[in-house]
Each structure stands twice: as structure tokens, then as C-alpha cells.
Amino acid sequence: MIGTIKTRSAARVFGLALCIASLATGSSCKAAPSRPGVPEPRLLPGDHERTLRVGGRERSYIVHVPPSFRQDEPTPLVLAFHGGATNARSHMEYCGLNDKADGAGFLVAYPNGTGRLPRVLTFNAGNCCGYAMDHDVDDVAFVRALLADLRSEARIDAGRIFATGMSNGAMMAYLLASEMADEIAAIAPVAGPMGTESASPSEPVSVIHFHGTEDHNAPFEGGRGDGLSDTDFYSVRHSIDNWIALDQCPTSEVREELPDIADDGTHVIRHTYGPGAGGAEVILIEIVGGGHTWPGKDVRRGSLGRATHDISANDMMWEFFERHPKAR
């Protein structure tokens, strides 16, 4: 159930500052006129923090609104889930999806997980992780409530709702593809496999998975990672094989070695399977020598291994998302 919603917008603060500056110089301060017949926008460009109640818990997320946003026009949405023991704001600053959203014109929602500490949060994505898993938090219900909340403020394009995430957040993207295939068109997990033995989507969901072969936190071949989660991870192959079957893609692959652009000790191989049912596609982006990192972004901590700069996960996933909307 959705409860009280609170919004904080950097855009509104910026607009107020401009208004005060105008008054100081003797200019008038008026809102820009809206188009006839178009309601005043409730979400202005910028970052908004919103809260809602789900299952007796207060939950929150940040939504980034691009400059091109129009309340009366259908807008794509990307759900971007943080890794374990981090939070929405940290992930927003790390992954850099806001820049891509501003250029391409989509909304990005950054959900916060749950935890004992306000900035150390996890999602319940099956066999991982931490507080959320231990307390059986229903994060799928949270995402459904989040979508309902956003739909009260914006016209979300029903055929273009996508999910990505880092590590534990990647596992959450896989869970949504299984549990919310009616809503999610495609996913782009980064450095995190499925957290379940199997999946049962109601319809095809396209997948592009990014993973480093030297990822010691969520090992490429599966098994115990070096992180704090104490998770016995499924392998990347387990995830890819499951979704090849679920999306009815051919098991034969198209293998392509991508150009080495940066001298960073990594090499990228793209494995493509498809088309499958309804044009679905499964792609594995294997980052040889890559660590527990977001492709195209610098490493936050040295212990996480190498980050490739041969590709941009943000550019590649958005190109993939654009090719795989859900038929409506």
C-alpha cells in the first residue's frame, strides 16, 4: 500500500534561487507559461527523493528527471538498483546514468534497499543479501508500489520499463525479470548473477549481462565471493543458460571480440543469442580481466579489480533497451 509521499527536488531549489536573483536585480519572477490544456508538471528536471509505505515499512527512492521531460508525453523508465551495503544516492553518483538519461530523455529511478543503518542497504534477491534476505523483505512489492507512485506523477511508457543494477542490484534486476515480466521489457545486470535456481517469467524479457572474469566478489564461475554477503553465488553461465531457454533463443552464439580502446588490462567479448520468442535476445558481455566494476566508470575502491574503459555499460545498455521495447 502506498502511504504518505514526500518529495525533495534539487530543481525546485535551483528555480527558487534564480527567482530570488531576479528580484534582486529588479526583474520580475514568473513561472514559464505552460502549454494550453497541458497540466502543470509535478516533477521538474532534477533529482527528487520520494518515500512511500510498503508492507508496513517506509521505503524510499530517488528519481532523476531529464530536462526534456514532459508530463503529457510517455517517457521511458530505467530502474537502477544499488549494490549490497550501499544506497541509492551512492549508486546514482557512481554509475553515471543521469548523464545518459539527460541525453536520451528517460527517467531513472534509484530504489533504496533496507538495512539497520540508513546508508548500508540490501535487496532481497533470492540467495542474497544481508538484512533484506534475512528479514524476508518483499522488494518486488516495493517496486510495484514505486511504479504506481511514479505513474501518479508522470506518464510512464508502459512498453519501455527497464531494469539494471550493480551486484546485489543486478540480482534484483533478474528477480524482476522473473516476477514482473508483465512490466519489465529488458534488463541489464552488471556484476551480479541470478539469485535463484530458476525463473518463471510470464513472457520474454531480453537480457544484456555485463561481468568481469576476475570478479572476486561475485565470481564469474560462481561460488563464494570475497564480499561481506557470504553468498554462494550462481555462475554467470547459469544465468545466461536459464534466460536463453526462457526466451527461446538458439543455443548457438555469435561471438565478437570488441576493439581494445583503452590500455587498462581488460578485453571485451560479446556473446549474442537470438532472436528468440517475440524477438527477445540474450547477450553476455564478458570482460576478460575485469573486476567487480561498472564498465566505463572508474573503480571506487582498488580491491574491486579493474574497470574496463573499452565500452560504456550505460551506452551499450541503452542501445539494447531501445531495441527491445515490450509490445503493447
Give the residue ranges of the chain where pLDDT is below 50: 1-35, 38-39
- Say which amino acid occupies 105: G
Q: pLDDT tens digit string along 285-319? A: 999 999 999 999 987 666 799 999 999 999 999 99
For residue 275, the tally of other CB atoms under 10 A from its CB is 16
pTM value surpassing 0.85 = yes
Determine the pLDDT at residue 229: 72
Give the distance from CA 272 to its chain's centroid: 21
Q: Can you tell me the distance from the alpha carbon of 146 to that of 176, in angstroms, rounded to the nearest whole number?
A: 13
For residue 134, the tally of other CB atoms under 10 A from its CB is 10
Q: Domains along the chain?
A: 51-323 (3.40.50.1820)
Question: Which three three-digit cell numbers place residue 262?
Answer: 583503452
Q: Can you tell me the distance from the alpha carbon of 222 to that of 193, in angstroms, rounded to the nearest whole number?
A: 9
Phi, psi of 50 (to 5 degrees): -125, 145
Q: pLDDT tens digit string along 257-270? A: 999 999 999 999 99
Contacts for 97 with CB less than 8 Å, ≥ 6 apart: 64, 78, 80, 108, 164, 314
Q: Can you tell me the distance from the alpha carbon of 188 to that of 177, in angstroms, rounded to the nearest whole number?
A: 10
Determine the pLDDT at residue 90: 96
Determine the pLDDT at residue 183: 97
